Amino acid sequence: MLAYTYIEKGKFELRQKPVPTINEPQDAIVRVTLSSICTSDLHIKHGSVPRAVPGITVGHEMVGVVEQVGPAVTAVRPGDRVTVNVETFCGECFFCKKGYVNNCEDENGGWALGCRIDGGQAEYVRVPYANQGLNKIPDNVTDAQALFVGDILATGFWAAKISEITEEDTVLILGAGPTGICTLLCVLLKQPKNIIVCEKDPVRRQFVRDHYPGVLTIAPEYALEAVKAHSVHGGADVVLEVAGTEETFRLAWECARPNAIVTVVALYDKPQILPLPDMYGKNLTFKTGGVDGCDCEEILKLIAQGKIDTTPLITHTFPLSEIAQAYDIFEHKKENVIKVAVRNQ
């Protein structure tokens, strides 16, 4: 089968590999129908994910059809259309039982697919702990509608969930990239009084205005004054930082009102500075970290009910055979790309 493979720093290549087989009783083999490219894939390509193993198939956003299951898999059966969760988790350990599945103590716990074990930019993928790692796609939901459920949409959903948003709140979202927009979709479900999206790219600001009327968009240089003008208590009640730059990290705490919740979703290339003397008395609550991707079933229900639609994010589609071109467009943000879908015939 064809599999897009991490060869070495700076180099991915489409290679022929054997179709994966069941290794463990809880494994499933999924025939991938649609996959996508994530910024984390680019981090692997650029060598900034030390855990990534050369030779592995990349890709951790995908949907497909269950082809085969191990004897301990009860949640899905061959023939089921499924979303694949970016995170592998055992469901049994201390962290899994608390819902902190990102910190699953299993050796493959957390982000393994397409990083430490073969992922889904391929024709088939082996999914460990398939009872937790796969969710059935409702009949009225298409593959394209479900494509982001296991990764960026799970992240947006989790970010909105932990941010304790109320209907009285002014919510500031920093970043309108794919994960920022997924976060926006999930924040919209909480119906806060105001939502402000801060994004430096005018094309992406326009995308937000076109698709989500009622959401205020601003450029970073005007963020502080805009947030103050649109909030009652001198700043945003809730801030979600989904951009991952030094400037947006600073804006996250600057734009927050005293006693606000600041949820940091972004992944940074380097350490950030919290100037505690300047922040003294602001009494902020920071929430940080990687998605606990265990709400996929609920997210799929919301999609089936028409409450979340991420299909406008798919601006480009390529066959797997042309995935290198898909990467080129995504990596260099050509043609106003937001997300690229990669389909298998």
Query: By CB under 5 A, which span of 83-91, 191-199, 224-232, 246-254 interacts with Zn ion?
Result: 83-91
CA distance 36 to 109: 22
Using CB under 5 A as the binding rule, whether residue 151 contacts Zn ion is answered as: yes
Strand partners for 126:
29
> Which of 90, 174 has the CB closer to Zn ion?
90
Question: If binding means CB under 5 A, how many residues of this protein chain bind Zn ion?
Answer: 8
Using CB under 5 A as the binding rule, whether residue 82 contacts Zn ion is answered as: no
CA distance 164 to 166: 7
Smallest distance, Å, CB 39 to Zn ion? 7
199 close to 175: Cβ distance less than 8 angstroms: yes
> Which of 151, 292 has the CB closer to Zn ion?
151
Smallest distance, Å, CB 316 to Zn ion? 17
> Which of 6, 89 has the CB closer to Zn ion?
89
101 close to 132: Cβ distance less than 8 angstroms: yes
- Pick from 90, 149, 238, 337 the residue near Zn ion by CB under 5 A: 90
CB atoms within 10 A of CB 222: 11
Strands of the chain, DSSP E: 2-8, 11-16, 28-36, 61-69, 81-84, 87-88, 110-111, 124-127, 134-136, 170-174, 194-198, 216-218, 236-241, 256-264, 285-288, 314-319, 339-343
> Which of 43, 190 has the CB closer to Zn ion?
43
Smallest distance, Å, CB 120 to Zn ion? 11
- What six digits make up the tokens of 295? 């709400």
Using CB under 5 A as the binding rule, whether residue 87 contacts Zn ion is answered as: no
> Which of 152, 236 has the CB closer to Zn ion?
152
Smallest distance, Å, CB 66 to Zn ion? 22
Smallest distance, Å, CB 45 to Zn ion? 13
* Residue bearing tokens 């030094």: 246
Using CB under 5 A as the binding rule, whether residue 52 contacts Zn ion is answered as: no
Contacts of residue 332, Cβ cutoff 8 Å, sequence gap at least 6: none
Contacts of residue 99, Cβ cutoff 8 Å, sequence gap at least 6: 292, 294
Using CB under 5 A as the binding rule, whether residue 96 contacts Zn ion is answered as: yes
Using CB under 5 A as the binding rule, whether residue 104 contacts Zn ion is answered as: yes
- Pick from 35, 40, 57, 121 the residue near Zn ion by CB under 5 A: 40
Smallest distance, Å, CB 91 to Zn ion? 6
CA distance 8 to 23: 26
Query: By CB under 5 A, which span of 2-10, 37-45, 129-137, 311-319 interacts with Zn ion?
Result: 37-45
Name the site residues for Zn ion (rule: CB under 5 A). Answer: 38, 40, 89-90, 93, 96, 104, 151
